[in-house]
Chains A and B, each alone.
Chain A
Amino acid sequence: MPTRSKAGVVLNPRNIPKKTPILTEGDRSFFEGDKVTTADLSDWAGLVERGFVRVI
């Protein structure tokens, strides 16, 4: 089933200090302002819903 990837930007809803990763997936870390896609995060929908990712 083909899917179209979506892009987003990482937000910081929990006010995590700078230089601390907001999200991690496997060995990869994502910081506030990082660009991510649906391929980067397995819980894309959940993270968008909870305000960690804003779809762009």
Chain B
Amino acid sequence: MSIKSGLNQRFYVHGNDLSGDVASITTAEGMFDEYDITDITKVAHARILGQASGRMEWSSFFNDAAGQSHAVLSAMPLTDVVVTWLLGTALGDPTFSLVSKLASAYAPTRARDGSMDISARAEGSAGAPLEEGVALTAADDTFSSASSATSIDQTAQTTLGATAVCHVLSIGSGTPTILIEDSANNSSWATLLTFGAQAVNTGKRVTSTATVDRYVRITTTGTFTDCVVVVTLRRGLTGDVVDLS
């Protein structure tokens, strides 16, 4: 762990890899409402926290290829959209994910110099704030058949549950089931979470209240070819807004 730049990052919107279109990520914010409860005995403001939320804002280039910025964002879905930002392309790199509504999904602009930008804003919508986690895939991973990915060692067991996000970018054929497994010894593995048989070009967030062992990895099961996925995991922490334990 060290100070890093923002080079070589990735950005996914509901099972679509928009990394090659995204020019900048202007906001990734977890926030609370706050209520002023200053009474007459106080000489400074007193406040308590209210509901949590999250917000992500980014700017994309105009790209009208299938599965790219124009096609994905101009669809302006009314349903929840999972947005994930990978701050690196290695296993275990930090991530931010948000289940959101695309509150300002499609606002293209054309500047006088001829450049085109699309700005988009996602507002938290699933009762969960912006969630920091780690990548269980190296950017995206391709599973050519049912198998397990390389594990990551998170040094210790935790007892406050977990949340995870999965983007399925493409499937060659068949129906893969994507699991997250945990292990105390990096050899005997137990299923921690399952995303089920997830459709292509979708994102999904799942939660578990279970104890999470030290090592974690992705496993795919079922009969399929060439499933490309992005998976992130967040262990529950003391003081989480949503207590998963």
> What is the 8 Å Cβ interface bit string for chain B, positions 190-228, against chain A (1 contact, 0 not)?
111010100000000000101100000001010000000
Within 8 A of B (CB), among A23-56: 23-26, 29, 41-44, 46-47, 50, 52
Cα-based distance from A22 to B194 in the complex (angstroms): 11
Q: Interface residue count for B (Cβ, 8 Å)?
A: 20
Decide if A16 is an interface residue (CB 8 Å cutoff). Answer: yes
Cα-based distance from A42 to B211 in the complex (angstroms): 19
Residues of A within 8 A of B221 (CB): 20-21, 29
Cα-based distance from A50 to B159 in the complex (angstroms): 12
Is there an interface contact between B210 and A14, defined as CB atoms closer than 8 Å? yes
Cα-based distance from A25 to B189 in the complex (angstroms): 6
Residues of B within 8 A of A52 (CB): 190
Cα-based distance from A26 to B194 in the complex (angstroms): 19
Is there an interface contact between B191 and A43, defined as CB atoms closer than 8 Å? no
Instruction: Considering the complex, give the chain B residue whose CB is closest to the CB of A40.
Output: B188
Cα-based distance from A16 to B221 in the complex (angstroms): 14
28 contacts between A and B (CB under 8 A): A13-B210, A14-B190, A14-B191, A16-B191, A16-B194, A17-B194, A17-B196, A20-B191, A20-B194, A21-B179, A21-B191, A21-B221, A22-B191, A23-B188, A23-B189, A23-B191, A24-B148, A24-B181, A25-B187, A25-B188, A25-B189, A43-B187, A43-B188, A46-B188, A47-B188, A50-B190, A50-B211, A52-B190
